[in-house]
Structure 1
Amino acid sequence: MQRRVLGLGAVLVTVIGLGGCGSSDSGASGSSPSNGDRTTTVKVGVIPIVDVAPLYLGQQKGFFDSRGIKLEMVSAQGGAAIIPGVVSGQFQFGFSNTTSLMVAQAKGVPVRSVANGAASNGKVGADVTGVVVKKDSPIKTAKDLAGRTVAVNTLQNIGDTTVRESVRRAGGDPAKVKFVEIAFDQMPAAVDGGRVDAAWMGEPAQTIAKAQGARVVASPFAETDPRLTVATYFTSTGLAQQNPDLVRKFTEAMAESLRYASGHPDEARQVLTTYTKISGDVLKRLTLPSWPADVDMTSLEKLASLGEKDGLFGGKKPDLDALFS
């Protein structure tokens, strides 16, 4: 779901080189996390989207402070910046969609997921992402997307992979869908202006487009798996080995944050105003993802299988147990 999440090919060599240095990701800034009486400042690479609301809410509620962690969120355009940033030690933790993490690990990038991030809410027609078309479009179902141009925020990623699955399930030919890359915030105008036949939109783009009369014709996440684990928080394998206490505390605080956000959706919605420009009617109407505390391995296995079918892993399937367990 992230912007520019996958563009990993151009940076993989650099990332692997950085990961081999071994010294740059040895710890966090601030005092030692092993000292319970002191606070450790850690940087988290994030994308300012709806999905990361629990992180900010957990910061507000003191779930990280109580464990001696002072969060410093650093906004990035997507995983193409966050993954190498984590491996090099620029960030101690990062947020990335699960397909990008699978691609990175299959390429030898030393990353490991440490906490859940976001999941599909399982509602076909009302999920956190959807394929959107103009009100008067002849496209009625995902099957009709075959032979059409569909915008995604990043090519060869969780977006086009799950859109293909929606087309396949609806009886269409996924190989006949043409994907083009357009930023989420530009998608409503692209659909309305006829530059593309459809667009796979996250929030708030989806809500903005619907307010302009657009229709949702597919919910790729929910249709791929209603419990699909979409994104997680991750760290470098070096930090996980060298500072397991910090990783444990971050994981515990993140789990508490996810549980709180799930139980207090109005607070999660309101915290969006602290790190995005979302407000007013869009804030009230936008669709929230699900925020379970645990990843759903069955859904990740399905996603990996689809990624393999799409040729994302270069012939080497990711080790999901090593990456997400």
Structure 2
Amino acid sequence: MRTHGRAIFVLAVVLLLGSCSLFTETEESSAPRPEKARLVVGVGNVVETAPLRLGVSEGLFRRGGLEVELAELDEDDDPVSLLTEQEVDVVFASDVALFRAAAEGTEISLQGEAYVAGTGSMALVTLPGTAYTDPGKLPAPRIAVPTRDGLGSLTSRSALKAAGVDPTKITFQVVPFDGMVDALRSGQVDAAWMVEPYLTTAQKEHGARVLADCAHGATESFPMSSYATTEQFSSANPRTLTLFRELLAKAQQKGADSGTVRRSLPRLTDIDDVTASVVSLGSYPQAVHAERLQRVADLMHGSGLLSERLDVASLVPKGELP
């Protein structure tokens, strides 16, 4: 009787474990699969996209059921054009570029925030020996920016306006980041707007000095960039993008540890260990916050970059709104 009872008990345990396994397998098999198993994501600035790059390199997305291929964007690429021409599925871009495109009629769908500025992560810089040592000293400064009517001109106007400069008197000259030091040295411009890692490189190699922190005052903790797709792609691939957002949020969690970001930069790009150890870092949001992003759109509207106020919440997938 005792042996018979033990056999019944063992059988019951086996059946119970089997039923649990069967239930788990059924649950997994019934989960809807993403419409696309592979996404091509256009990426730019390595500091701002570090968590995504780290997540891809460490297999986080692949283990989560989504293959992500990173397409490197050149500085002169138009990320919105690459998106609308379907050369990439999702693209990294400055919030200014995305909101300007949305205001002009491009149906944009925000899939995640990439980066929010931290102290010293974007700034107006000059070279040693210049007489331009106070942001309010020149009434009509010439400023180098990487793109016309972009994040650089928006935040430079804000910083210089706070210093007493009339924004309408500022002249912006489009200069690629790698040409800004030469533009300063030749006297082509009075100051240059830089972000990391170019900012730290200019300080380390050329003795560049910060004239004004562009992540201060009205632009403190300012949203800089996001990941987006077209509304058409979003509507056709809702499960794929829901999974992408979930996995992106996990990748962005890595950005909460600045040490992890700094250690990853040399192997993700050609940034050397010394530069990586001292770059000024912002933060990496794990979800889209429409209210925070609205600050960008409202500043664009107030400075004349947008003719009408843009409702950023209309660009966020409905399920992602708080």
Q: How far is 1:299 from its partner? A: 4.0
**Aligned counterparts of 1:79 and 1:109: Cα–Cα separation in 2:** 20
Report what 1:294 is aligned to.
287
Please list the CA deviations of residues 123-158 of structure 1 after superposition, one character each: whole Å capped at 9, or x if unmatched.
Answer: 2xxx21110012222223332353121101111111
Distance 2:298 2:140 in 1: 24
**TM-score, with normalisation over the residues of structure 2?**
0.82
Deviations 1:54-82 (A, max 9, x none): 11111133321122111111111258532
Distance change >3 Å, CA 141–CA 295, structure 1 → 2: farther
Aligned to 1:35: 33
1:276-295 matches, within 5 Å, as: 276-295=269-288
Among candidates 224, 227, 231, match of residue 230 of structure 1: 224
Structure 1 pair 47–270 and aligned structure 2 pair: CA distance change class (3 A): same
For 2:230 and 2:248, locate their aligned partners in 1 and report how far apart those are by CA, in whole Å: 17
List per-residue Cα deviations over 1:146-180 (Å, max 9, x = no partner).
Answer: 31211011111111011111111122212211110
Q: Considering fraction of residues, name the structure with more helix.
A: 2
> How does 1:74-93 map onto structure 2 within 5 Å?
74-77=71-74, 81-93=78-90
Per-residue Cα deviation, 1:29-67 (whole angstroms, up to 9, x for no partner): xxxx9437x981210011143111011111133321122
Query: How far apart are the structure 1 equivalents of 2:305 and 2:148?
Result: 11
Matched positions, count: 286
Cα gap change, 1:293 to 1:137, in 2 (>3 Å): same
| Counterpart in the other structure of 2:111 | 114
Which residue identity is paired with 1:323?
L
Q: What residue is the counterpart of 1:153 in the other structure?
A: 146
- The 5 A counterparts of 1:304-315 are 304-313=297-306, 315=307
Aligned to 1:54: 51
Q: Select the residue among 210, 218, 230 that pairs with 2:212.
A: 218
Matched, 1:190 2:183: yes
Pair 239,138 (structure 1): closer, same or farther in 2 beyond 3 Å: same
Instruction: Determine the C-alpha separation between the residues in 2 that align with 1:308 and 1:252.
Output: 32
Q: Which of 62, 66, 69 is the matching residue for 1:69?
A: 66
- Kindly indicate whether residue 41 of structure 2 is the aligned counterpart of residue 44 of structure 1: yes
Aligned amino acid, residue 191 of structure 2: A
Shift in alpha-carbon separation, 1:302–1:132, aligned structure 2, 3 A = same
Residue 98 of structure 1 and its aligned partner are, at CA, apart by 0.5
- Say if 1:149 and 1:177, in contact at 8 Å, map to a contact too: yes
- In structure 1, the residue matched to 2:135 is 142
Is the contact made by 1:116 and 1:231 (CA closer than 8 Å) also made in structure 2? yes
Distance in 1 between residues matched to 2:121 and 2:97, nearest whole Å: 18
CA distance in 2, matches of 1:247, 1:210: 40
Work out which of the residue numbers 299, 315, 318 in structure 2 matches 1:323: 315
- Are the equivalent residues in 2 in contact too, given 1:58–1:64 (CA < 8 A)? yes
CA contact (8 A) 1:188 1:208 kept: no
Correspondent of 2:244 among 250, 253, 257: 250
Contact 2:36–2:237 (CA<8 Å) still a contact in 1?
Answer: no
Q: Is the Cα–Cα contact under 8 Å of residues 39 and 70 in structure 1 kept in the other structure?
A: no
Q: CA deviation at 1:296?
A: 4.5
After superposing on structure 2, the runs of 4+ consecutive aligned residues of structure 1 that deviate more than 4 Å are none
Alignment match, 1:129: 122
CA contact (8 A) 1:145 1:177 kept: no
2-structure distance, mates of 1:113, 1:78: 21
AA in 2 matched with 1:35? R
SS of match in other structure, 1:278: coil
Contact 1:146 1:167 in 2 (8 A): no
Q: Is the alpha carbon distance of 1:168 and 1:299 closer, same or farther for their aligned partners in structure 2, counting shifts above 3 Å? A: farther
* 1:78–1:96 CA contact under 8 A, matched in 2: no
CA shift, 1:289, in A, is 2.3
CA distance in 2, matches of 1:80, 1:299: 26
| Residues 1:201 and 2:194 are matched in the alignment | yes
Identify the residue that residue 4 of structure 2 maps to in structure 1.
none
Scaled by the length of structure 1, the TM-score of the pair is 0.81
Which segments of 5 or more consecutive residues in structure 1 lack a partner in the other structure?
1-32
Shift of 1:200: 0.3
Query: Partner letter of residue 222 of structure 1?
Result: H
- Which of these two proteins has the greater Rg computed from alpha carbons? 2
Please, which moves more after superposition, 301-310 or 95-104?
301-310
- Separation (CA, whole Å) in 1 of partners of 2:210 and 2:179: 17
Structure 1 letter corresponding to 2:279: L
One-letter code aligned to 2:99: M
